Structure 1
Amino acid sequence: MRYYIKRRLEERIVAALRTNPAVALLGPRQCGKSTLARKLAERLPRFLYLDLESDADLNKLGQPELFFQHNADRLICLDEIQRLPQIFPVLRSILDRQGRNGQLLLLGSASPDLINRSSESLAGRIAYLELTPFLSSEIEVETKGANKKLWLRGGYPRSFLAQNESVSFAWRENFVRTFLEKDIPQLGIRIPSTRLKRLWQMCTHFHGQILNLSKIGDSLGLSYHTIQNYIDLLEQTFIFRILRPYHTNLKKRLVKTPKLYFRDSGLWHCLAGIRGFNDLMGHPMFGASWEGLGVESILAEFPDWDGYFYRIASGTEIDLVLENGRKKVAVEFKASVAPTVGDGFWQALQELKIDEAYVVAPVPEPYSLRQNVRVLSIADFVRTFRG
């Protein structure tokens, strides 16, 4: 990387370490967890970083009780903790024995259930935070046109900061290969890499669509339940986001099947063979690409809000319904500089008693469509919604 782009999560990690014995920072491989941890080491006293992908560092934990006893007054960071799942029972006893906050920072590339395959729980001792690839609010200061580049390349730091589109695309191709051939087996999961890649490529056609497990299974010659297990795995390793349908007491025939999104737009573009912006604009799923970018950008920026989509059998639909307590916000995504919405959108706003609504589109300046309905870009939505 040419330089460090400050991550929004940095202050939340520091605050969480002050109030919890342990903090787990989870997120996909290569999203910047290690870089962020090293940055934290510059500001937090007595910070000790171990990379468990390094045999030298891994060997230091050959006698974990002795190691932690010797470093009892330090904040110990264990990077790629999924490499050492057997250490969790030891961590629990150490956290209880020392009884202070800010003892451990764990970095992992999968969900808690995949990382900690022991029966030991750190519940009540650990706070979980998720680091995503770069967000629009983090890269606005980078260069003019940064948000367009974020859309095409995705937010993985080495992809986003690559010197040109060819280097960025090659990095993503290598990421997919390494993930399938190395990262998944390291989690103790035995799935042929060729099979999982075929699933990825098949799922590019379902990006932003209702998830049809039977259709995917038929195409790959695999059972419904096998496909479900594979989809769950890719959700737990931060590759897919599964957006659940919004449930309401209205007497409507609601769509009850979830939608699937690739969380990083750059990875989806790579698997779909989209190398440049001209390729993207001419692609039949151009609109789905924008929608996926918007859904992920918003849900990653505002993790305290629950996200759903709303659709009934007649076609009335809202792309994203955000809910926090009793407040409901509707978001529609349109890949157009002159967006319009259909009657179904206005009908859905009334049905759900939406408090405020937005149409998120690649427009240069925000403007009002109707009262309480604004048209604005992803970056402007984030600024507006954060207040």
Structure 2
Amino acid sequence: MINRHVSARLLEDLAYFPVVGLIGPRQVGKTTLAKQLGERLAKPMLYLDLELDSDQRKLADAETFLRQYTGHCVILDEVQRMPQLFTLLRALVDQQREPARFMLLGSASPELVRDSSESLAGRISYVELKPFSWPEVQTQSTIQDHWLKGGFPDAFLAPRLPLTFRWLNNFIQTYIERDLRQLGYDLSGRTLTSLLQILAHINGNILNISDLSRSLGIAQPTVNRYIDLLTGSFVIHRLTPYFTNVSKRLVKAPKLYIRDSGVLHQLAQITSYNALLGNPVAGASWEGYVIEQIRRVVGNDWSFHYYRTHAGAEIDLLLVAPDGQKIAIEIKLTNAPTVSKGFYSSLDDIKPNHAFIVIPNGDSYPKENGLWICNLTELITERLLAIYRE
């Protein structure tokens, strides 16, 4: 069993909030984790899978059925299938407000299933369960293997690489194409597949909707809708630019990344580590992998940005903590990095509290002006956590 780092946060929220939402992509382990934690509660558990017709029929008269289980923690899996339940859950919680009344498991973000965030405001805590992070599996694998395969459990734990990428291919076809349609969106499977393949090759680049519109032959509003859906279903994320009061022209469009490196590599038809290193997408893939691993460690408490001027000065990742601390991170796919003048110029603009150059492996050591060369493992398991806990 691989210990999931969000377990402690989930148990803490279940001890306080009447409703806890565990969200994340399919096949990431939400059901397994919810059942494990449910068994540790001081009340019985009832599990309903809303993809099963039999469980949906139990909720034909949902109020009558759920009132029978007032003293239980009721787990509703794939709750986005029945968004009409959210108003009822709010009423039931308001009549008897106590911790762990309901656990809602979903494969779409609250923004994509807006009824939940509106109906349960003030009653629900959301926790995102992501694919395996590097700290969760570092005793069982190498960082190169995790980068290549990504963190989806069935892909990562497959005994042979062909099975890893066969699983990822099936995942893309079923979850990304079929399941999005089941959320009620009229999507063209062919267009979505073409979009994903294009996104794999522009991973880590500035998002240009007009270029995507011309390449796909569809209207820009349609492209924006597809991008929103892929973001809300945890497939991609947009890294927003950081604006500050400097007298320089700044790039203001977001950068786009496919969140799981294994999904990216399957879309780019990269199925071995040697092929990855020789592929033009390797640098941007590593950059996206590092950003996602940092996100999996620090969660959503910090905001994530990049910084780039029109003159080319850039910081790959700028973290801003709730207290305003700024952490500048440059990401390099080499253990002997060189630092550009543009990065130093950006540090002068931003004046971060901490600055790091991230490398895959190797020793960490300081450079001038408080800049540190730091391997990824040390950065996310020691240095960022120390800053996070300050």
* TM-score after normalising by structure 1: 0.96
| Cα offset, 1:323, TM superposition | 0.5
- 2:263 maps to 267
| Deviates further, 57-66 or 225-234 | 57-66
Match of 2:294 among 286, 292, 298: 298
| Cα offset, 1:42, TM superposition | 2.9
Matches within 5 A, 1:217-366: 217-302=213-298, 303-324=300-321, 325-366=323-364
SS of the aligned residue for 1:44 comes to: coil
SS of the aligned residue for 2:121 comes to: coil
Deviations 1:5-54 (A, max 9, x none): 11110110111111111011111111111111121133223122211112
User: C-alpha separation between the residues in 2 aligned to 1:197 and 1:256?
Assistant: 27
Please say if residues 110 and 117 of structure 2, whose CA atoms lie closer than 8 Å, have aligned partners that are also in contact. Answer: no
1:385 and 2:384 matched: yes
- When residues 338 and 118 of structure 1 are mapped into structure 2, their CA distance, relative to the original with a 3 A threshold, is closer
- 2:135 maps to 137
| Cα offset, 1:370, TM superposition | 2.7
The number of residues matched between the two structures is: 382
Deviations 1:61-109 (A, max 9, x none): 2221112111000111111101111111111111111121210110101
Deviations 1:249-273 (A, max 9, x none): 1111000000000000000000000
The amino acid of 1:25's aligned partner reads L
Match of 1:19 among 16, 25, 40: 16
| Cα offset, 1:369, TM superposition | 2.7
| Deviates further, 83-92 or 245-254 | 83-92
What's the Cα RMSD here?
Answer: 1.4
Match of 1:372 among 370, 373, 390: 370
The amino acid of 1:385's aligned partner reads L
Matches within 5 A, 1:31-180: 31-45=28-42, 46-117=44-115, 121-143=119-141, 145=142, 147-180=143-176
Q: Provide runs of 4+ in structure 1 moved above 6 Å.
A: none
- 1:28 maps to 25
Please say if residues 333 and 361 of structure 1, whose CA atoms lie closer than 8 Å, have aligned partners that are also in contact. Answer: yes
| Cα offset, 1:117, TM superposition | 4.2
Deviations 1:162-211 (A, max 9, x none): 11110000000000000244211111111011111111011112200000
Q: 5+ unaligned residues in a row in structure 2: which ranges? A: none
Please say if residues 180 and 193 of structure 1, whose CA atoms lie closer than 8 Å, have aligned partners that are also in contact. Answer: no
* TM-score after normalising by structure 2: 0.95
The amino acid of 1:369's aligned partner reads K
User: C-alpha separation between the residues in 2 aligned to 1:298 and 1:246?
Assistant: 18
SS of the aligned residue for 1:77 comes to: strand
Please say if residues 361 and 376 of structure 2, whose CA atoms lie closer than 8 Å, have aligned partners that are also in contact. Answer: no
The amino acid of 1:250's aligned partner reads V
